[in-house]
Amino acid sequence: MSKQIMQPGRNVWKEAHAERVQFLVDGDSYYPRLKTVLEKARRSVWIIGWDFNPYIKLDPINEPELTLGDFLRSLVERNEELDIRVLIWDEGPIYSGRSLQLFMNLGWEKHPRIHLHFDTKHPLRASHHQKLVCVDETFAFVGGMDLTAKRWDDRQHTADNPLRVTPDGDPYEPTHDVQALVQGKAAAVLTEVARTRWRWATKEILRPHGPVHHDWPEGDLPDISGCYVGVALTQPGINGHRRRTEAAKLTCDAISEAAKCIYIEAQYLVSNRVVAQLARKLKEVDGPEVVILVPKTTRGIVEQMTMGNGLARYIRKLRKADSHNRLLIAYAAVPGENEKEVEVLIHSKVVIVDEKFLRIGSSNLNKRSEGFDTECDIAIEAEDDQCRTAIVGLRNDLLAEHLSAKKEDVDRISRSQGSVLAAISALNVQPRGLRIMQAETGNGTSRFTNIALPIFDPKKPFWPLQRLKLRFVALMRRLRHSLVSLF
What is the C-alpha separation between 37 and 41, in angstroms, rounded? 7
* Cα separation values, 240 from 150, 209, 243, 247, 458, Å: 36, 27, 9, 20, 20
Give the per-residue pLDDT at 339: 83
User: In the chain, which residues have pLDDT < 50?
Assistant: 1, 99-100, 443-444, 463-467, 470, 487
What is the C-alpha separation between 355 and 5, in angstroms, rounded? 13
Phi, then psi, of 83 in degrees rounded to 5: -115, 135
Give the per-residue pLDDT at 1: 47
Q: Pick the closest to residue 230 from 463, 474, 11 (CA basis).
A: 11
Q: Pick the closest to residue 268 from 363, 127, 146, 372 (CA basis).
A: 363
Q: Would you give the DSSP letter of residue 63?
A: -
Residues in contact with 381: Cβ distance below 8 Å, sequence separation at least 6, in sequence order: 4, 5, 6, 228, 230, 356, 357, 387
Question: Around 323, how many Cα atoms within 13 Å sit in the side-chain half-sphere?
Answer: 8
Helix/strand/coil (H/E/C) assignment for every residue in 233-288: EEECCCCCCCCEEHHHHHHHHHHHCCCCEEEEECCCECCHHHHHHHHHHHHCCCCC
**At 439, which amino acid appears?**
A
First to last CA, the chain: 64
What is the C-alpha separation between 480 and 458, in angstroms, rounded? 28
Give the dihedral of Cα atoms 292, 296, 301, 306; nearest 10 deg.
20
Q: Would you give the DSSP letter of residue 337?
A: G
Give the per-residue pLDDT at 464: 45
Give the per-residue pLDDT at 2: 65
Give the per-residue pLDDT at 224: 98
Helix (H, G, I), strand (E, B) or coil at 39: coil
Q: Cα angle vertex 351, ends 183, 391, to 5°? A: 55
What is the C-alpha separation between 459 and 296, in angstroms, rounded? 24
Give the dihedral of Cα atoms 96, 27, 177, 303; nearest 10 deg.
-20
Question: Around 315, how many Cα atoms within 13 Å sit in the side-chain half-sphere?
Answer: 24
* Cα separation values, 4 from 133, 359, 364, Å: 29, 15, 23
Contact 101, 138 (CB under 8 A): no
Q: Pick the closest to residue 288 from 236, 322, 326 (CA basis).
A: 326
**At 31, which amino acid appears?**
Y
Residue 283: alpha-carbon gap to chain centroid: 29
What is the C-alpha separation between 292 and 267, in angstroms, rounded? 10
Phi, then psi, of 264 in degrees rounded to 5: -130, 135
**Overall residue count recorded for the chain in this entry:** 487
Helix (H, G, I), strand (E, B) or coil at 344: strand
Q: Would you give the DSSP letter of residue 459?
A: S
**At 456, which amino acid appears?**
F
> Hey, what domains does the chain have and what are their CATH numbers?
14-238+460-486 (3.30.870.10), 244-436 (3.30.870.10)
Contact 286, 244 (CB under 8 A): no
DSSP string spanning 124-192?
A: TT--B---EEEETTTEEEEES--BSTT----TT--S--TT-B-TTS-B---EE-EEEEEESHHHHHHHH
Give the per-residue pLDDT at 421: 98
Contact 460, 122 (CB under 8 A): no
Give the per-residue pLDDT at 444: 45
Q: Would you give the DSSP letter of residue 307?
A: I
Q: Would you give the DSSP letter of residue 463?
A: G
